[in-house]
Structure 1
Amino acid sequence: MRLTSFTDYGLRMLMRMAGAPDRAHSTAEMADEFGLSRNHLSKIMQRLSAAGVVETRRGGGGGARLAKPASDIPLGALIKLLEEDQPMVECFSTGNACTLDGSCGLKARLRVAETAFLESLDRSTLADIALRQSQSI
């Protein structure tokens, strides 16, 4: 399975926040650190905030923090959240235009594989991959 850059960057942001959970992290700061677009990271942060994974605060001393301990955040759930608008194959999307839909035996097997992939990742948490201050991405 190939993950989108949206998910890749979201995981990097969360790994950084999990490695220093006592401080607020600004999107601008992480954009500079990762060499990425602040606008792109802001969109990711909005999704994470809307889902209750992070809490954000504006203004001086503001930024983002994990909404709960990293040990309580399964990786599979994060990937499912970040990939929610990106189905693995077209036939997983609503209103798909696949001419084989309904007679194809691949769709069910891919759904089983996708479920197994996410369940496997759910056996690990964000705490397991947290970046400590001395580590880099």
Structure 2
Amino acid sequence: MHLMKSTDLALRLLMRLAVVPPDTHPDELPTTRGVAEAMGAASTHMAKVVGKLQHLGLVQARRGRGGGLVLTPAGRVASVGAVVRTFEGSGDLAACVDGEDPCPLNAACRLRSALRAAQEAFYASLDQLTVEDVTAAPTGPLLLSIAMGRP
């Protein structure tokens, strides 16, 4: 299974924001543009990801001087599986009915249901993890050192 770029960016952004120290001065908060540059992503793409995470209540985005991105309490305990489901959608892994030539086995295909079960098992394994879980040591301190420009 391959995650879409927006899903990958959303997860990495949540992880990055999870390691921002609580006493960070508002002028030093990560910005959409800054995080996009650090991740090698287009700022417009990151802005869409931030907007979706903000709509979900996981990220707070403040504009202007002293603005930046903050992970909300709900974002800290958000299920990684729920985030992936939201960004990936619930579509089939195989394009059985898409395109000009739909699969002739579509009406009685056992593979499609097996792929759907495998996809759900993938999500279920991620449902057990929260953003806090995936940023616990040793990941969190490493993320913070990378964010501060220290390898």
* Range of TM-score over shorter length: 0.7 to 0.9
Deviation at 1:25, TM superposition (A): 2.5
Residue equivalent to 1:134: 145
* 86 and 16 in structure 1: CA distance in 2 versus 1, 3 angstrom threshold: farther
Matched, 1:11 2:7: no
Once the two structures are overlaid, the 10-residue window that deviates more, 59-68 or 19-28, is 19-28
Identity among equivalent positions (%) equals 33
Kept in 2, the 8 Å contact 1:21–1:65? The answer is no
Mapped partners of 1:111, 1:67: distance in 2: 32
Once the two structures are overlaid, the 10-residue window that deviates more, 20-29 or 10-19, is 20-29
Mapped partners of 1:90, 1:110: distance in 2: 11
SS in 2 for 1:102: helix
Q: Which has the higher helix share?
A: 2
- Structure 2 residue identity aligned to 1:17: L
Deviation at 1:71, TM superposition (A): 4.6
Instruction: Spell out the pairing of 1:50-89 with structure 2 (5 A cutoff).
Output: 50-84=55-89, 87-89=92-94
SS in 1 for 2:60: strand
How many residues are treated as equivalent by the alignment? Answer: 134
Matched, 1:29 2:40: no
Mapped partners of 1:30, 1:86: distance in 2: 29
Residue equivalent to 2:20: 20
Kept in 2, the 8 Å contact 1:57–1:63? The answer is yes
RMSD (Å), alpha carbons = 2.4
TM-score between the two structures when normalised by the length of structure 2 = 0.76
Higher relative contact order (CA 8 A, sep 6+): 1
Within the candidate set 84, 104, 109, 2:109 is matched to 104
Within the candidate set 121, 125, 137, 1:120 is matched to 125
* 87 and 44 in structure 1: CA distance in 2 versus 1, 3 angstrom threshold: farther
SS in 1 for 2:145: coil
Mapped partners of 2:78, 2:55: distance in 1: 15
